Amino acid sequence: MEPSGTGRTISRRARRTRRRQRRRRVAVDEKQIEVDGEKKWLYAAIDTESKLLLEIDVHSRRGTDPAAAFLHRLTEKHDVSDTEFLVDGGGYLTALFRHDLSGQLNYTDRNHIEKWFQTVSMRIDRFHSFWRGSPASVRRWLRRFRHHYNHDRPNQALDGRTPAQEVLN
């Protein structure tokens, strides 16, 4: 239970209902990484409410076409029919239009994706300055890290719950 600001407390069920009534917001972005000495682009999408990392992928370049490919993959795996995408430009507005998705340029409410990139960068830096191996090995590591981030790693913004627990509760 949490205070509602009106002197009443809000149950978890009421919070979930309120969350469902609001439009889902997903922040998407990309970050340059190095794989076996080559520059690649790590794309990610995160639900701003639950902090659930929805999708990640690695592309050899940045721009509208890779952004569109990333969004296409996201739409194949997740229901994004009532989703507002928060983007920073980088080809995303055109890519959103190509897939008939709703979005807006937003530099303030996207900090969840920026924090995730900081988290993954710190994890990479702890072990090595860049990945040695194939793009396939990078994708495998990223899938495992996504699972760890969503299911095992407590999130401070969620009072120590994982994003998966936030979605399921």
Query: Taking the C-alpha atoms of 109, 57, 140 and 48 in order, what is their torsion angle to the nearest 10 degrees?
Result: 20
DSSP string, 40-60: EEEEEEEETTT--EEEEEEES
Percent of the chain at pLDDT above 70? 81
| Over residues 83-100, mean pLDDT | 90
pLDDT at 41: 92
How crowded is residue 130: how many other Cβ atoms within 10 Å of its Cβ? 15
Q: Which helix (H) or strand (E) holds 35?
A: strand 24-35
Instruction: Give the separation between CA 159 and CA 2, rounded to whole angstroms.
Output: 12
pTM of the model: 0.79
Tens digit of pLDDT for each residue in 23-59? 789 999 999 988 777 888 999 999 999 999 999 999 9
Q: Determine phi and psi for 88, rounding to 5 degrees.
A: -115, 20
Check pLDDT > 50 for residue 19. Answer: no
- Which of 30, 2, 29, 32 minimizes the C-alpha distance to 14? 2
Residue with tokens 């149950």: 11
Q: Work out the average pLDDT over 131-160.
A: 85
57: left (phi over 0), alpha (psi -120 to 50) or beta: beta
Quick one: CATH architecture of 23-168? 2-Layer Sandwich (3.30)
